[in-house]
Amino acid sequence: MARLIVGMTGASGAGLGVRVLEALRELPDMETHLVMSRWARTTIELETPYTAAEVAKLADVTYRPGDQAAAISSGSFQTDGMVIVPCSMKTVAAIRAGYADTLVGRAADVVLKERRRLLLVPRETPLSEVHLDNLLALARMGVGILPLMPAFYNNPTTIDDILDHLVARVLDQFDLPAPRAHRWSGLADARSPAAGCADDLSAATAAGARPSSQPRPARRGSPNSTR
Amino acid sequence: MADQRNVTLAVTGAGGTRIARFVLESLVKDDRVGRVDLMVSAAGRKVIAHETGRNGVGDAVELLLGAPAQKVVAWDPEDLAGGPTSGSYPSWGMLVVPCALGVVGRVAQGTANTLIERAADVTLKERRPLLLCVRETPFNLIHLRNMTQVTEAGATVYPMIPTFYNAPSSVDHIYEEFTARLLGFIGLPQSDYYTYSGSKTRAHRDRVER
């Protein structure tokens, strides 16, 4: 059983957070623990066709952002890490400072202290010196920084294409199979009509869907534990 | 027009050259802009070719726009003696769209290997605006360190990240919105782009009405 914490905070791009939750739901043996900040709920309502209550149902367990006594507040509750998508600059600052005044910040703090994988998906442009300094400090601690930035090598023709690709890149960071991944494999392949290649979910599931019990490739590993 | 500005635009080897096309088109038709100095790196040509299906050779302006444009001066990025190599050459500032992270690294180090990197170096020393529209995700530690360093030196890192509160309806809508925001940021406000006003987004209306 893999167990992932999903945080959603008040940056634009709530639709990607919803997509990530949907993708995780499709994986066998995956348990998701969701915490939405107050402003994530607002962003969900402003940017997606869903209500916050509908999004909450996509996760196995959902916590209130003020519930500092939740399971994910303690390192004794074992997880494979946490993704915050979208991640506001306020949340970045809070994690960097260790200022865990909401459950999002506390859960991230715990993930860091337990040397588990923490991935942030910020959506902000341009980036101020404050933003960059905070992101840099977190990257130094092994935190993954995956800005919500479309790729172009997959020739996106719809917004769904852009979001699908980003979901795959998020799953990649946790060594989870990404059936809708469109992977670059050189210009020659890109020019051919059947460009890109998707992961085979059935094949990948056996090997990769249980990151807690499988040895991971050294390249990605769990960077929080390797410093 | 006496108060027209000259804008330097570089296109380097990262995805998103369609946004460079939109930016160049906007600059060309904008009466507030007198001249555009354009540089397309060798890798930039390859990406344009890949993203447009065109052959990546020939005139840089035609490669990007599909047609010539009188207002645009194309410089060979290998020509370190080109106009933008000197601070005396009149320029309001420089945009790099898209900006490869290797370019950010060389700008951060002051390694002026090409006219593009030299022009960026000059833009910083002349204290002119330098905007780097990076396209990369995830960022590694080196990317973040270099981006922090160029920001400390006065550049603006402007990642090619879309907004979603405007409920974009197509990929081109995202590119157009990004272009308008970018040009507004450099003091060339565009008339038709989304301004966030609190709550009346399309997605919100759609949900309430369903």
Contacts of A188 (CB under 8 A, 6+ apart): none
Please tell me if residue B207 touches chain A, with a CB cutoff of 8 Å: yes
Please tell me if residue B102 touches chain A, with a CB cutoff of 8 Å: no
How many domains in chain A? 1
How far is residue B186 from each of residues A15, A181, B23, B33, B99, measured CA to CA in Å?
A: 29, 36, 12, 12, 17
Domain boundaries, position A82: 2-156
Query: How far B53 CA sits from the closest chain A CA (Å)?
Result: 9
Which pLDDT score is estimated for A208? 43
Please tell me if residue A46 touches chain B, with a CB cutoff of 8 Å: yes
Q: How many secondary structure helices (H) and strands (E) does chain A include? A: 9, 6
Which pLDDT score is estimated for A190? 74
Instruction: Give the homologous superfamily in CATH for domain B5-209.
Output: Flavin prenyltransferase-like (3.40.50.1950)
Query: How far B1 CA sits from the closest chain A CA (Å)?
Result: 30
Whichever domain contains A46, its CATH number is: 3.40.50.1950
Higher pLDDT, B210 or A178: A178
Say whether pLDDT at A146 is over 80: yes
Cβ B8 vs Cβ B93: under 8 Å: yes
Q: Is residue A150 part of a domain?
A: yes
In angstroms, rounded to a whole number, what is the distance separating the alpha carbons of residues A30 and A174? Answer: 12
Per-residue pLDDT, averaged over A66-84, amounts to: 97
Q: Which two tokens stand for residue B60?
A: 């840089």
Per-residue pLDDT, averaged over B162-182, amounts to: 91
Q: Is residue A146 part of a domain?
A: yes
Cβ B14 vs Cβ B46: under 8 Å: no
Q: Is residue A106 part of a domain?
A: yes
Contacts of A170 (CB under 8 A, 6+ apart): A20, A83, A85, A119, A121, A146
Higher pLDDT, A210 or B33: B33
Q: Is residue A123 part of a domain?
A: yes
In angstroms, rounded to a whole number, what is the distance separating the alpha carbons of residues A22 and A41? Answer: 17
Q: Inspect the interface and report whether the beta carbons of A144 and B138 lie closer than 8 Å.
A: yes
Weakest mean pLDDT among A18-27, A124-133, A193-202, B132-141: A193-202
The domains of chain B are located at 5-209
Q: Is residue A199 part of a domain?
A: no
Q: Inspect the interface and report whether the beta carbons of A46 and B199 lie closer than 8 Å.
A: yes
Q: Inspect the interface and report whether the beta carbons of B50 and A133 lie closer than 8 Å.
A: no
Weakest mean pLDDT among A12-26, A45-59, A187-201, B26-40: A187-201
Residues of chain A numbered 144-163 and touching chain B (CB < 8 Å): 144-153, 155-159, 161-162
Nearest to B157 among A15, A47, A127 (CB): A127
Partners of B138 on chain A (C-beta within 8 Å) are 144-147, 169, 173
Contacts of A122 (CB under 8 A, 6+ apart): A11, A86, A87, A88, A89, A92, A131, A135, A145, A147, A148
Check whether the bond before A177 is cis (ω within 30° of 0): no
Query: How far A132 CA sits from the closest chain B CA (Å)?
Result: 6
Please tell me if residue B16 touches chain A, with a CB cutoff of 8 Å: yes
Phi-psi category of A59—alpha, beta or left, where left has phi over 0 and alpha has psi -120 to 50? beta
Please tell me if residue A164 touches chain B, with a CB cutoff of 8 Å: no
Q: Is residue A63 part of a domain?
A: yes
Residues of chain B numbered 68-97 and touching chain A (CB < 8 Å): none
In angstroms, the first-to-last Cα distance of chain B is 51
Residues A156-213: pLDDT tens digits? Answer: 999 999 999 999 999 999 999 998 888 888 877 776 645 455 565 544 443 344 333 3
Which pLDDT score is estimated for A128? 97
Predicted TM-score (pTM) of the model is 0.87
ipTM greater than cut 0.90: no
Say whether pLDDT at A222 is over 90: no
Please tell me if residue A76 touches chain B, with a CB cutoff of 8 Å: no
Please tell me if residue B144 touches chain A, with a CB cutoff of 8 Å: yes
